[in-house]
């Protein structure tokens, strides 16, 4: 019987997977320690804290200090997983991550929960839409944005094996689980969910299921869309992207992030020299988010199934 705590077809948030995977890593590896910034109930690091109180450190509302402590623990041979909201992990303590963790390439894993507009009613101040951009520009940093709880669980387990700093982008919003226990996360590799010849949809994180659903409906309307789940933002699967660009001639990127500096920018950088084709970026435009239910915000910014279908059709007709 599988040990996977998530079932295909059920709903869960990727932050739940982070907490459960962190707990499992704690049971398997005594050198794993966890840190949080007074948000363990939200980030789900509380699972680890309850079972391993001597290996859990609540740093209070002091993310910059937490980054420094994590760096110190890593330099002593521990493998720290530090957790907070994405807005605070990537924003409030960017300098500390840059200089204390990424620069010396220390083995610190960053669990960044509540990313994107699906934080919902917390509003623009808490809707982190720039974290992929900030983290992927740092040398030595790996950036992972899983699409469902199973992929998140596997990615957290893989992060333990990856040498050096890793940024894990996680969600508050629960979504349907599409991957079963046979799925294996591979750093630097994309996942082809559907083949197609007219264009390629490259999506990351929460918009992946909606992108696949949209592509299946578009097939019935005569548009053959290839769908790639790109959970590994850095390193990105350049080979797969170039192949898709050469074969389908058009790419649309879909992300719950500002279109500046995120997945769309990473894809453009990957293909521009070897396979320059038409690329459309779908995400949050150059505006801040706003308070509202998560599902309504996804609709507002065109990141639900119908919005993705419309963007694809407009792109094909342009």
Which residues does the annotation mark as catalytic?
A: 63
Distances (CA, A) of 232 to 9, 39, 245, 316: 23, 26, 18, 27
CA torsion sign for 253, 257, 259, 261 is negative
| Measured distance CA(80)–CA(59) in Å, rounded | 13
> Which residues are bridge partners to 33 per DSSP?
80
* CA pair distance 47, 66, nearest whole angstrom: 19
Measured N-to-C along each axis, helices 263-271 and 238-248 cross at an angle, to the nearest 10 degrees, of: 80
Radius of gyration of the chain (CA): 19
| Residue entry with tokens 């980054």 | 67
Phi-psi region of 258 (alpha: psi -120 to 50; beta: other; left: phi over 0): beta
Residues 6+ apart with CB under 8 A from 316: 198, 199, 223, 250
Q: How far is CA 222 from CA 226, 262, 268, in A?
A: 13, 30, 27
Q: How many helices (H) and strands (E) does the chain have?
A: 13, 14
């Amino acid at each position: 019987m599988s040990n996977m705590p998530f079932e295909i077809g059920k709903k869960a948030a990727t932050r739940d997977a982070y907490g459960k995977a962190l707990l499992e890593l704690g049971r398997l590896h005594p050198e794993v320690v966890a840190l949080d910034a007074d948000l363990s109930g939200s980030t789900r690091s509380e699972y680890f804290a309850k079972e391993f109180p001597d290996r859990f450190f609540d740093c209070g509302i002091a993310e910059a200090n937490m980054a420094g402590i994590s760096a110190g623990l890593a330099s002593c041979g521990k493998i720290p997983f530090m957790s907070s909201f994405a807005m605070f992990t990537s924003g409030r303590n960017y300098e500390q991550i840059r200089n204390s963790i990424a620069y010396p390439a220390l083995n610190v894993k960053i669990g960044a929960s509540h990313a994107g507009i699906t934080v919902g009613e917390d509003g623009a101040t808490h809707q982190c839409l720039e974290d992929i951009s900030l983290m992927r520009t740092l040398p030595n940093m790996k950036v992972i944005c899983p699409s469902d709880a199973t992929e998140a669980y596997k990615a957290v387990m893989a992060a333990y094996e990856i040498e050096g700093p890793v940024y894990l982008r996680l969600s508050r919003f629960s979504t349907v689980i599409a991957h079963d226990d046979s799925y294996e996360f591979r750093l630097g590799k994309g996942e082809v969910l559907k083949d197609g010849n007219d264009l390629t949809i490259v999506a990351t994180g929460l918009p992946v299921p909606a992108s696949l659903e949209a592509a299946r409906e578009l097939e019935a309307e005569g548009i053959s869309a290839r769908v790639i789940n790109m959970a590994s933002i850095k390193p990105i699967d350049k080979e797969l992207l170039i192949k898709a660009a050469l074969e389908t001639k058009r790419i649309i990127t879909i992300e719950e992030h500002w279109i500046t500096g995120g997945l769309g920018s990473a894809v453009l950088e990957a293909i521009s020299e070897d396979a320059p084709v038409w690329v459309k970026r779908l995400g949050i435009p150059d505006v801040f988010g706003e308070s509202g239910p998560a599902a309504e915000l996804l609709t507002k910014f065109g990141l639900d199934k119908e919005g993705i279908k419309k963007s694809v059709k407009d792109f094909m007709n342009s």
